[in-house]
Structure 1
């Protein structure tokens, strides 16, 4: 308990798209309330003008809710929906969920076609481009039950608030770190108590791992992760600058960019990353790579949520996890830590929703109640509200290393990454550059840097014309 209280105290101290959106389902035939599993068979009931959910007996409001994730996340959110509907039989939540890659494509299509869900999960890097197009989401600042004023001010102020309102509810807080197989890595001299882990240490450890067995690789990674958690983190530590400035100009020099890309090239060449011919099969699903599952890979760099992801953590035959949280590699004399603190996921309510009170009521249950927190557990990393973190700590619902990582990240966070540096087109371009490096398609990293700079200019110019 003392350690839990110290963690809580530390936490307190640390503390795209055009198109119209569809309105909430607020009319139709009367239907009996159902559980989440049967919600697809439910039709919304008509709601008398001026009435709020629950005021007219026998009538229901139906809200569509969309999100992405794996099986564990789906199961837990469905449990939240089921519990909410039992307590609020006048509100029916129709779930729509998929894997991230499928969700992103569907999300884009629904926004542009006017078929977006009433309550929707939004990835933080998408927000700036969406908000620049217009007022698509409901202002949630008037719904006190959401508890937005009691959530981490850093998260609310930097990611949820805009000049004309507060449009997003954070599902949780993500820091940055790594997930490591400490037992296996101990064989190669790795000490998890030593938090001064550098990029040079990572390379030296990776060389030992691969030299001992050529089928082993220190890092489990795909091309997107290589771009986000290796090249970009290294570049931020090296320069302390935004990758792309607010005005769309490249924020780093050609030489600095070439050095960061060179890190990725070195990791491939030295066998610290698995060859892309083998790992590329598992793009966007790297934790399903048999080499990771068979404990022949030992480290994943990423956000705090990877430490609580059941598919990443790996369980042994006894059901015990073989991994634990650790720090992000650092650079000696770095300009900043490279650690990005951001919401795990954001949730928004459709701006044309006819029943935003009902939508806000559900989001309050999901993210601002003890019952919701107990059902979600670590689905979205660590809650954004301190009192719920305390509750989860008391109930042992949260992974302790994940909590420690978020505390560490809040205390050592780097600059907030701006909209251009988080741009989805830039991210996709950098992912492609990682693949070309892996396939040895460049004569030098300066050549790779030149392509990055040229393509950023093209992306910015194209955006200005649209």
Structure 2
């Protein structure tokens, strides 16, 4: 079993894998010294991340081990939830108060890099960070901007359907179903009608609904949602089709009403219907499986997310779980690089951290966990499925936060019946084109 996973991982890796200048002076300390410049001086590093309690506990334990091995290093941990993290980080980078080592969500790299040169190019630290443990193509696709390697992936994640096996059995839904846009409607309506609305096939909150729209558009056209030249990768006809599917799902009770799901965006584990077993599946990243399965009593498994029968590309997301990046304004770049390298590549670190950041992207850490049988089976299976169905990397401009807000506002108007599919499509195109014109002119 272990050898099979390693083999699959390696074969998939062959084809798919796996600013601000800061206020004040930049001290790129590439010597094994503290800020005072003397070897062995006490060095304090700030390290920030977001995550679940399990991730916090594991990361804190790893940092304790690192400080035990390196008595001259003190690591100050700055951690919390995902909400608000991005804006706080951007504010810190703008004000020159950002931590030394920073966990960054990969889609943010494009926006942050447009603001200035804020992260260290890790190509300049090859003597400290072992880049050979990572797939070169994966680093080029997901961590490199303007030929600079801005960070290293903590793990590999992919978007899958994480499903309730018991609910599938209850309603006679074959577990080997290849989900497309039409059978989602058929089975979703069946679940809703037979349960009189008590059960629901899909947990799709407003944020995930915007992803469904993106999936539909990319599968239909084969294009990026937004092309590299800042033009849309779709026309009104395709946009209306996508909106119609979302409306059908909402009207037929295929997905949980937004009035109920909005409060649990990005945290399905807190959704009462989920842990009561009243939801068939959610679309989510594999790294969130440990949190989603906590405290539930029903059996679960993973399968591929929705892919049109005639899809020109799958649009399925596979990307780094997160990125570890080094603040270019850090006074201890070298020591930050050493900590990064240890967290990502060291055997002790791999054993302590496990898969709290998804399937490790580092070959050495992946081997440690695989040999020890410490990778959650659902995460391993889900990552394998996502890699096999991957739509390739999403380009930077499609991940722009301001464009994402336009998509979210648009899908909410549709859901709350303030716009028809045609009106929603018109407004989406109009508002996105206006924002793209603004973004392009600022380059």
The TM-score, its normalising length taken from structure 1, stands at 0.87
Residue aligned with 2:83, SS: helix
Contact 1:19 / 1:113 at 8 angstroms: preserved in 2? no
Query: Would you say 1:168 and 2:151 are equivalent positions?
Result: yes
Structure-2 residue corresponding to 1:30: none
Aligned position for 1:196: 178
Pair 1:237 & 2:239 matched: no
Instruction: Give the superposition deviation at 1:24.
Output: 9.0
Q: Which shifted more, 363-372 or 279-288?
A: 279-288
1:344 aligns with 2:321: yes
Task: Mark the CA change 1:386 to 1:195 in structure 2 (over 3 Å): closer, same or farther.
Answer: farther
Relative to structure 1, is the Cα distance of residues 413 and 283 closer, same or farther in structure 2, using a 3 angstrom cutoff? Answer: closer
Structure 1 residues 347 and 22, CA gap change in structure 2 (3 angstroms): farther
**In structure 1, distance between residues paired with 2:430 and 2:369:** 48
Sort the Cα spacing of 1:60 and 1:271 in 2 relative to 1 into closer, same or farther, 3 A.
Answer: same
Give 3-state SS (helix, strand or coil) of 1:132's partner.
helix
- Distance, in Å, in 2 between the alignment partners of 1:46 and 1:119 is 15
CA contact (8 A) 2:167 2:278 kept: no
Residue equivalent to 1:315: 295
| Whole-angstrom distance in 2 between the partners of 1:249 and 1:212 | 44
SS of the residue 2:256 aligns to: coil
- 1:436 maps onto 2:416 in alignment: no
Alpha-carbon displacement from aligned partner over 1:26-63 (angstroms, at most 9, x marks no partner)? 99xxxxxxxxxxxxxxxxx96442x4xxx33xx31001
Deviations 1:299-346 (A, max 9, x none): 011222233x32x124346xxx73222211221111112212211111
> Partners of 1:234 and 1:285 in 2: how far apart?
24
2:200 corresponds to: 217
| Residues 22, 372 of structure 1: alpha-carbon distance in 2 compared, 3 angstrom cutoff | farther
Inter-CA distance 421–164: structure 2 relative to 1 (3 Å threshold): closer
Deviation at 1:132, TM superposition (A): 2.5
Residues 22/11 of structure 1: CA separation in 2 closer, same or farther (3 Å cut): farther
State the secondary structure of the residue aligned to 1:124: coil
Q: Secondary structure at the match of 1:218?
A: strand
Any idea what the Cα deviations from partners look like across 1:4-40, whole Å, max 9, x if unmatched?
211111111110x64616789999xxxxxxxxxxxxx
8 Å CA contact 1:184–1:298 kept in 2: the answer is yes
Report what 1:108 is aligned to.
90
Please say if residues 100 and 327 of structure 2, whose CA atoms lie closer than 8 Å, have aligned partners that are also in contact. yes
State the partner residue of 2:16.
none
Instruction: After TM superposition, give the deviation of residue 163 of structure 1 in Å.
Output: 4.3
Partner Cα separation in structure 2 for residue 220 and residue 257 of structure 1: 22
Does residue 380 (structure 1) correspond to residue 362 (structure 2)? The answer is: no
Could you say which residue in structure 2 is the equivalent of 1:151? Answer: 134
SS of residue paired to 1:100: coil
Residue in structure 1 matching 2:303, options 304, 308, 326: 326
358-367 vs 202-211, greater mean Cα deviation = 202-211
In structure 2, the residue corresponding to 1:250 is in which secondary structure? coil
In 1: Cα distance, 2:53 partner to 2:317 partner: 26
The aligned counterpart of 1:251 is 233
Whole-Å separation in 1 of the counterparts to 2:395 and 2:138:
14
Candidates 294, 297, 305, aligned match of 2:279: 297
**Pairing 1:417-436 to 2, within 5 Å after superposition:** 417-436=394-413
SS in 2 for 1:120: strand
Q: How well do the aligned residues superpose, as a CA RMSD in angstroms?
A: 2.3
**Contact in 1 for aligned 2:100/2:332 (Cα 8 Å):** no
Per chain length, whose mean CA-contact separation is higher, i.e. which structure has more relative contact order (CA < 8 Å, sep 6+)?
2
Secondary structure of 1:358's aligned partner: helix
Taking structure 2 as the reference length, the TM-score comes to 0.91
Which deviations, in whole Å up to 9, do the C-alpha atoms of 1:198-244 show, x marking residues without a partner?
A: 2222222211221222121111221111112x111122111111111
Residue ranges of structure 1 left out of the alignment (5+ in a row): 28-44
Q: Residue 23 of structure 1 contacts residue 350 of structure 1 at CA under 8 Å; is this kept in 2?
A: no
Q: Which residue of 2 aligns with 1:4?
A: 2
**2-structure distance, mates of 1:262, 1:449:** 10
Q: 1:165 to 1:420 in 2, by over 3 A?
A: closer
Q: Is the 8 A contact 2:318 2:390 kept in 1?
A: yes
Structure 1: distance between partners of 2:8 and 2:262? 40
What CA distance in whole angstroms lies between the structure 1 residues aligned with 2:324 and 2:210? 26
1:205 matched to 2:203? The reply is no
- Deviations along 1:54-75, one digit per CA (max 9) or x if unpaired, are x33xx31001111112222211
Question: Which of 395, 403, 424 is 2:380 aligned to?
Answer: 403
What SS class does the counterpart of residue 299 from structure 2 fall into?
coil
Q: Is the 8 A contact 1:76 1:376 kept in 2?
A: yes
Aligned length: 432
Q: How far apart are the structure 2 equivalents of 1:123 and 1:22? A: 26
| 1:200 match: secondary structure | helix
Q: 1:273 to 1:195 in 2, by over 3 A?
A: closer
Q: Give runs of aligned pairs for residues 5-20 of structure 1, distance below 5 A.
A: 5-15=3-13, 18=20, 20=22
